[in-house]
Homo-oligomer: A and B are copies of this chain.
């Protein structure tokens, strides 16, 4: 009976594509994989999959993310729908893109290998299949805007991080150099970080203090309207 309502209409394959961003060595990276099936087998592509019959589009994206990272409940937001007629060369497929921000340290080489996946620097992106380059560009511009109004960037860092790390992250997002003192002044005013008594010596002899979030203060900022435009 319910099928009768819309029966004259056409149906489409609907897919999700995930832009999984990580941060390492002063650069944003995206997780790409070598497509193992036709069409475009062997070409670089984003992680994706088709929406199944019993799941929502969000659930499909979440499933794909968990599949290829092994991690559940990752931070994830929708970018939008891509619906050009010939965007997929195999068949008409409408795709909804999602981006996720992850900590690259959480990825074992094994997980990556088992999916034919590799981290690729944003600055060295190859040509991807279909409209996947477009999806990444759209994500990067969304990220720039979002990062200024919500402290989402922290999803890209490990739980404990140094201020120089945080600064280079924002430099990578905004594609600009920031003044060290002004950056710290602003962070200090926000008062959302908790300084730990441990130093990280991976990147310098002197070592840099580690920080982590103060969840409560952080949530207060999010509610009251965040401004992180540096």
A positions within 8 Å CB-CB of B: 2-3, 5-6, 9-14, 37-39, 50-58, 60, 78, 80-85, 89-94, 96, 145, 149
Question: Does the CB pair A93–B6 fall under 8 Å?
Answer: yes
- With A and B bound together, what is the CA distance between A82 and B50 in angstroms? 15
Question: Does the CB pair B12–A51 fall under 8 Å?
Answer: yes
> Can you spell out 18 A-B residue pairs with CB atoms less than 8 angstroms apart?
A2-B90, A2-B91, A5-B37, A6-B13, A9-B13, A9-B50, A10-B53, A11-B12, A11-B13, A12-B12, A12-B13, A12-B14, A12-B51, A54-B85, A55-B85, A80-B80, A81-B81, A83-B96
Question: Does the CB pair A81–B57 fall under 8 Å?
Answer: yes
Chain B neighbourhood of A85, CB < 8 A: 54-56
> Which residue in chain B gives the minimum CB-CB distance to A7?
B91
> Which residue in chain B gives the minimum CB-CB distance to A58?
B83
Chain B neighbourhood of A91, CB < 8 A: 2-3, 5-6
Question: Does the CB pair A53–B14 fall under 8 Å?
Answer: no
- With A and B bound together, what is the CA distance between A58 and B53 in angstroms? 24
Least CB distance, A17 to chain B, in whole angstroms: 12
Q: A51-B12, A81-B80, A83-B51 are in contact. Are A94 and B6 (CB under 8 A)?
A: no
Chain B neighbourhood of A55, CB < 8 A: 85
Chain B neighbourhood of A14, CB < 8 A: 11-12, 14, 83, 94
Considering residues A38, A82, A83, which has the most beta carbons from chain B within 10 angstroms of its beta carbon? A83
Chain B neighbourhood of A13, CB < 8 A: 6, 9-12
- With A and B bound together, what is the CA distance between A85 and B54 in angstroms? 7
Q: Which of B38, B53, B78, B81 makes the CB contact (< 8 A) with A5? A: B38
- With A and B bound together, what is the CA distance between A38 and B60 in angstroms? 28
> Which residue in chain B gives the minimum CB-CB distance to A146?
B145
